[in-house]
Every structure is written in C-alpha cells, then in structure tokens.
Chain A
Amino acid sequence: MADAQENHDWEGRYYHIDQILDAPGPRTDEGFMAGEGVKDFLRNQAKILVIGAGGLGCEILANLALSGFKDIHVIDMDTIDISNLNRQFLFRQKDVGKSKAIVAAEFIMNRVPGIKVTPYFGKIQDKDNDYYLQFNLVICGLDSVEARRWINATLVNLVDPENPESLKPLIDGGTEGFKGQARVILPTITSCYECSLDMLNKPTAFPICTIANTPRLPEHCIEWASVLEWPRVHGDKKMDTDDPDHITWLYTIAAARAKEFNIEGVTWSLTQGVVKNIIPAIASTNAIIAASCCNEAFKIATSSAAYLNNYFMLIGIEGVYSYTFEHEKKSNCPVCGGDSVSLSIKPDMTLEELIDLLTERQDIQIKNPSLSTPTKQLYLRAPPQLEEATRPNLFKTMSSLIPDGGEVTVTAGTLPFSLSLDISYT
C-alpha cells in the first residue's frame, strides 16, 4: 500500500504547491512547519468533509484533490438531474438519476490518483457527533438555509472546552446567480452562521391578496396554483416539488389562470423554478467561490498564510466587486451567544429550588425564567395553559427530570437570548 502511494506521488507532482510549503513566507503563521512536517499533515493526516456535491461541491472536490488533500469525505442527499450537467462537471449524461456523492467520489478517484474520497448518499442529519468529530475541517457548498443552520449549530455544539480537537473550522460557500460569499467560521470563536441570519435576503414572496385577485406576473399564477389551489384541491396531501407529476399539475392550473388574466410566460420550467425557489446558477460564480473556500481550507490546514477573517463577498452583477470584512459575533445569537453555566447540585433538589437558586445567584440574576431540556419542557411561565401543564414538575427532583450531565435551556425576559445550564449531581 505504501508503495502504491509512493508511485502516485511521482516526481514533481506537487511542484507548484511545494513552492508554498517548503519555506515560510512573510505572512506565514508562527506555527508553520515548513517542509516535510506540513506536507505530511496535509497529505497523510488531514481529513476533510465536503457537504454538498452540487455546483459548488464538484468544484470544491476537484480543487481539494488537486491541492493535495487525500482523505476527503463527501455528503449529498441529491441525485443527478439532467439540468445539473452544464456546470456540475463530475457528472455525465449516463449518471442521471444516480447519487451525486457517489458519482462525484468515483470520478475524482479515477481522475486524480492516490486520493480517497468516501461518499455518503444521504442527509447530514443522519450523522451523529462522533462522525463529525473525525474531521479536521468542514467545507459546505449548500443551497439551503436549513442545512447550513443545522451543520453550524452541530459544529458549535461539538466544541468541548476539554478537547481542543473538538473545534472544527467551518468554511461556508454560497452562490446566488452572479453573487457569492465565502466565510470562515471558527465555532464559538468567530461569528457563526446563525449570527448573520438577519442579513439573508428573504425569499421572494408575493402578497397573497395579489396572488388571489390581481395577478400580473406569471409567478403570481404559479403561486396561486401552489399556495392556494394545491391545499384547496388536495387537502393535507403534501406537495412534493421533486415529483414531476406535481409540477405538471401546478403548471396546468397556473397556465389556465394565466390565460384567464392574459398573462404570458407560464412554462413548466418556470413553474418548477418558482415552487423550488430555483435561482439560476452561474458556473463561473461557483468556480470563484469554490476556489476561495479551498484556498481557505488549504491555508487553515497548512498555516502557510493568514486565513480569511471572516467574510468574503462577491458581487458580479455589474462588473466584478468583492469585499472582505469581519462579521462580528452577535451577543444574543441563539447558537453561539449566551452563556453556559455549570451547576453542581444535589440530586434531590427540586426544580422549584433550582429556579430559586438561579434567581438568587449574583452571577446569573434571572427573573421569571422558563426552563426546558432538548426533549421536553420543564417549566414555562406562560401562557397559562403551559404553566399549568408544567407546574407539577416544580415539585419533582432534578434527578427525576434530567440525567447527570444533561443540559437545561433557560429563557427569560431579562436575558438577551438564553442561558444553558450543565447539570451535574453531587
């Protein structure tokens, strides 16, 4: 096996990359181990996870493989669609319908000798903390806010003050047409994805009254079909935007409505685009953002140069404009903000006594707290019905409510957001 690997690293294979790794430069980090040390880490030890094998993911995988990362894992829950082929260059027509992660992994391994790409065809939510702990770095090329929030919160939660290895840098790339962004998130140290949630453009939504009464655009007709007609005709049956039959039904309804109002432009693909909120993907934007993400991954993995602090944005709509700034942590961020307090209490302490303790303690000073665990409510002040439902818990012992080492989330009007308690029993 060692021999096989030797053979792959032919003379001069990494000539250009070694220019950077063989000697320190003016901007290299103090901890930079020029020469064999850093090369060994990059090529034999670093394990990197790529989330998403779509427009950004294909570029990221190729860039990582060519810059010397050799142990790459990739997750994607999607299958290949014919419309992906113009920019997701690891896929061919024969691959349509197959898993993006699996096909991309095979393609990279065939094309770049000596690289191991391990695919997972499924959701990021299928994997537990132990899975994410095995990586040095995570790069995301995702198209959904929900998935980003999930991986961000997971990596922030992973940070264990006792274990330096638990801090996994997250590099997040995103594109929308000609616009894109790349950012470096050091969970619990720099601002996280949730900190910037307010900055997101809201998805285009039309007033429901316009849709119902005064449609002027083809999009209005499509929204009429999906927002109003689908639930009216199909009741509780969920609309599946990946099901072509559902899109066809919506298209038929939307086209009839468009005809009634003399609106032109309702097509099958526009219908699909509107209900799936598809924004045209531009291959060159993906290439730039993926390159930026991989550049950061390389710098963080090797310490060969200062990495991005912490937000790079690209606007290519009129000319090419880019800007880099430090997005600040939000003190009341529900994921990385707020404090955590370790409490060591007697197992027979009641919930009511715990609340008294929280109210009295000088360093906490909470008024009227509501408490819950990740799986259930312990005590909610309001509304009255929930107060009544959770009131019996006040008289129960803590050990009967949560296990040793369990976590309790506290919210109160006096807190910026929430406080988390690590409960242990004496």
Chain B
Amino acid sequence: MIKIWSMKKSEEAAGKKKPKTSAAQIRVQKDLTELDLPSTMKTHFPDPADLLNFSLTITPDEGMYAGGTFQFSFAINTNYPHDPPKVKCTQTIYHPNVDLGGNVCLNILREDWKPVLNLNAVMVGLQYLFLEPNTDDPLNKEAAQEMSKNRDQFLSHVKSSMRGANIKGVQYTNVLVQ
C-alpha cells in the first residue's frame, strides 16, 4: 500500500480535521447570515432551528405592484448548492411570470442556476420580477398578453387583483398591506 501518510507530513494541510456539518448546511448558514436585503424584503422561519425551509415577504415600494405584500416559500434540499432552492409563491397573484399555482418563472431558479449563485441572488431576482414583469417569458400567458397589448387594462387588473378581486373566475389573494 502506498505510503500516503509520509506525503501528508510534508503537507501544510497536516493537522486539519473537518466538521461533520454537511457542506449544504454550512453553505445555507453562510448565505443566510450574509444576506444583504433591502427593507422591502424579509425572511421568516416557521421553525428557527430549520434553516432549510422558510418564507420570504416582498413588499415592493415602487412599480405597479407597490403596496402589495407577496409571500414566497423556500425549500432547500441537502444537495444545495448543486440543486437550486425550490421557490413558490404561496398566494394566488396576477403576474405574467407567476402562474396561478404559485410557480415562478425566474431563469436562475431553473435553467440558469449555478452553484456560485446564492440565496441573495434568488431573492433579488424575485423582487425584480415585481418591478419589471417580463412578457417574453410568460407563465401566466393571459396576464402577459394583457400587459403587452392593453397596458391600461393590465394595470387595472393588477390593482384589483391585489385587492382580492375575482377576475374572469379566478379569486385572487388580497395582498394589500393592512
């Protein structure tokens, strides 16, 4: 058997011993404690001992969604950051890039996810969707069509949906800050 230990002695690395905390766990701790969020975003942990499941509240202070309080759930698995976090909107909202089931179309949550990205990038990306909804990659096609073809109608739908209106048979969640 090759004498690896003799190499080890010559290495500066000698004396290193690693913790049993999983890489995913450390990475999440690092991501969360180094979050640099504007005052429009807040995290909430239903169980403060569980860093892998939490919610994010976004309250845009400008743009067409200003005044609303939008909720997202984050679920991180043990293969993070190889796998992206799973993010869903927990309300029914009228938005070109969020469908009625709460699925979110944000490139870095799927096809453009990379392990070098972090939770901060995902959160900032989510907030950006409220400032600049993207009609090129719609998830709620009707909303996107409305936005590009009839902007006034779209804005009015946004406003009434945020108040919890029923539009074309869909009951939206009232997201206005009390």
Interface string of B46-76 (1 = CB under 8 A from A): 0011010000000000000000000000000
Knowing A212-B141, A339-B16, the reply to whether A411 touches B79 (Cβ < 8 A) is: no
Task: Output the least CB separation between A45 and chain B (Å).
Answer: 8
Interface segment, one of A12-20, A266-274, A367-375: A367-375
Chain A, interface size: which category?
35 or more
Structural contact, A411 and B33, CB atoms closer than 8 A: yes
Which of the candidate stretches B3-11, B146-154, B159-167, B169-177 sits at the interface with the other chain?
B3-11
What is the predominant secondary structure among interface residues of chain A facing chain B? mixed
Interface residues of B toward A: which range?
A: 35 or more
Contacts of A227 in B (CB 8 A): 103
A380 within 8 Å of B (CB atoms): yes
User: Are B2 and A161 in contact, CB atoms less than 8 angstroms apart?
Assistant: no
Does B105 contact A420, Cβ atoms closer than 8 Å? no
The winner among A188, A302, A376, A407 for most chain B CB atoms within 10 A is A188
Residue of B whose beta carbon sits closest to that of A373: B21
Q: Are A189 and B1 in contact (CB under 8 A)?
A: no
Q: Which of A161, A213, A383 contacts B141 (CB 8 A)?
A: A213
Distance of A338 Cα from B78 Cα, bound (Å):
20
Cβ contact within 8 Å between B139 and A167: no
**CB <8 Å contact, B78 and A146:** yes
B79 to A157, Cβ gap below 8 A?
no
Partner of A380, one of B22, B32, B111: B32
Q: A209 contacts B19, CB within 8 Å?
A: no
Are the C-beta atoms of A213 and B138 separated by less than 8 Å?
yes
With a CB–CB cut-off of 8 A, which chain A residues contact B128? none
Contact B5 A167 (CB under 8 A): yes
Interface residues of B in 1-31 (CB under 8 A from A): 1-5, 7-8, 11, 13-23, 25-27, 29-30
Q: In the bound complex, what is the Cα–Cα distance between A246 and B135 (angstroms)?
A: 34
Within 8 A of A (CB), among B88-118: 97, 99, 101, 103-105, 107, 109-111, 113-116
Point out the residues of chain B lying under 8 angstroms from A411, CB to CB. Answer: 26, 29-30, 33-34
A 323-346 binary contact with B (CB < 8 Å = 1; else 0): 000000000001110111000000
A189-B8, A197-B115 given; A145·B79 CB < 8 A? yes
Out of A206, A335, A381, name the residue touching B23 (CB < 8 Å): A335
Determine whether the beta carbon of A303 is less than 8 Å from that of B2. yes
Q: Name the one of B4, B35, B78 contacting A189, with C-beta atoms under 8 angstroms.
A: B4
Are A161's CB and B16's CB within 8 A? yes
Q: Tell me if A149 and B99 are in contact (CB < 8 A).
A: no
Is A389 close to B, CB under 8 A? Answer: yes
> Is the pair B32, A194 in contact by a Cβ cutoff of 8 Å?
no
Q: Kindly count the residue-residue contacts between A and B in the assembled complex, taking CB atoms under 8 Å apart.
A: 187
B13: which A residues are within 8 A, CB to CB? 188-189
Contacts of A381 in B (CB 8 A): 33
CB atoms of B107 and A207 under 8 A apart: yes
Name the B residues within 8 Å of A228 (CB-CB): 99, 101, 103
Q: Mark A204-248, 1 if CB is under 8 A from B, else 0.
A: 011111101100000000000001100110000000000000000
Residues of A within 8 A of B105 (CB): 207-209, 212
Are B17 and A164 neighbours in the complex by a CB distance under 8 Å? no
Q: Tell me whether A372 and B45 are in contact (CB under 8 A).
A: no
Q: Give the nearest-CB partner of B96 in chain A.
A: A209
Closest residue of chain A to B18 (Cβ to Cβ) is A157
Contact yes or no, B18 A336, CB < 8 A:
yes
**Neighbouring A residues of B17 by C-beta, 8 Å:** 157, 159-161, 340, 420, 422
Interface check A178, CB cutoff 8 A: no
Nearest CB in chain A: distance from B11 CB, A: 6
A372-B113 contact in complex given A300-B1, A334-B26, C-beta closer than 8 Å:
no
A301 to B137, CA, bound (A): 55
A373, B13: Cα distance in complex, Å:
23
With A386-B33, A409-B29 given, can you name 15 additional A-B contacts, CB distance below 8 Å?
A46-B1, A145-B82, A161-B17, A169-B2, A189-B7, A200-B82, A202-B114, A207-B105, A336-B18, A338-B18, A372-B25, A377-B49, A409-B19, A417-B26, A422-B17
In the A-B complex, list the 6 residue pairs whose CB atoms are closest, starting with the nearest: A164-B5, A389-B48, A209-B137, A334-B23, A420-B19, A370-B33
14 CB < 8 A contacts A-B:
A146-B82, A156-B18, A157-B18, A160-B17, A198-B116, A209-B137, A212-B138, A303-B2, A376-B49, A377-B29, A382-B33, A383-B42, A386-B33, A420-B21
